[in-house]
Structure 1
């Protein structure tokens, strides 16, 4: 199952204004913004509902350049397994498995670049079951 999707935009402020207005009738609003200092890249905005950001955009690339897709995992072990399998399949590491507390305390994700440079992620939002 998909957890969230992200797209690059050319003008962050313009896109923020557009999506804020365009998605409001659907009950979708701004849930979270992250800074370049938090991402190590550009600014990003997460839109969603019920506190869950499932549509993201950011100014970290040219429009149409690379997309971000995150798949939901039901355990941290599956995130780890995804990362290892993706690297073995020829993907390039774009973020080793680990906590990303700037999203939330239990956000455990791993990132790889696919053969075309798209940022593919597996993420588990659950606490560590082994703790």
Structure 2
């Protein structure tokens, strides 16, 4: 299941308005901003939209985060739900073995939220995967 996606855009305000209106019929809404000053230097300001389940604690929800596109930037950033910290560790190890590049070893990422555990990998084209376990998410049904 997809947890979150980062979309790099050239105009944050215009894009926020577009995504908010386009996704409103599907139950999505704006819900805030992550200020990069509260985390590591490589995490940019992020502007969030969420589906109706996101953060509910009763279902696993999805979010979209808009970020300011940098010159020459391409690629995708995709967060993938893991059911445990151990699953994050296993996916990270498998991705490295398959030839991925480390972009952040498995660790708590409390600058996002308590109980946020993740690891980051890049593929051969610079697309990025984040394997993430959020302690507040219920277990997925298999």
Partner deviation per Cα, 1:38-59 (whole Å, 9 max, x = no partner): 3534221221134725222211
TM-score with structure 2 length normalisation?
Answer: 0.76
CA RMSD after TM alignment: 2.3
Q: Which 5+ residue runs of structure 1 have no aligned equivalent?
A: none
TM-score with structure 1 length normalisation?
Answer: 0.82
Q: Which 5+ residue runs of structure 2 have no aligned equivalent?
A: 55-61, 137-142
**1-structure distance, mates of 2:113, 2:91:** 21
How many residue pairs are counted as aligned between the two chains? 127
Matched ranges for 1:22-101 at <5 A? 22-37=22-37, 38=39, 40=41, 41-50=43-52, 52=54, 53-61=62-70, 65-101=74-110
Partner of 1:120: 129
Q: 1:63 to 1:8 in 2, by over 3 A?
A: farther
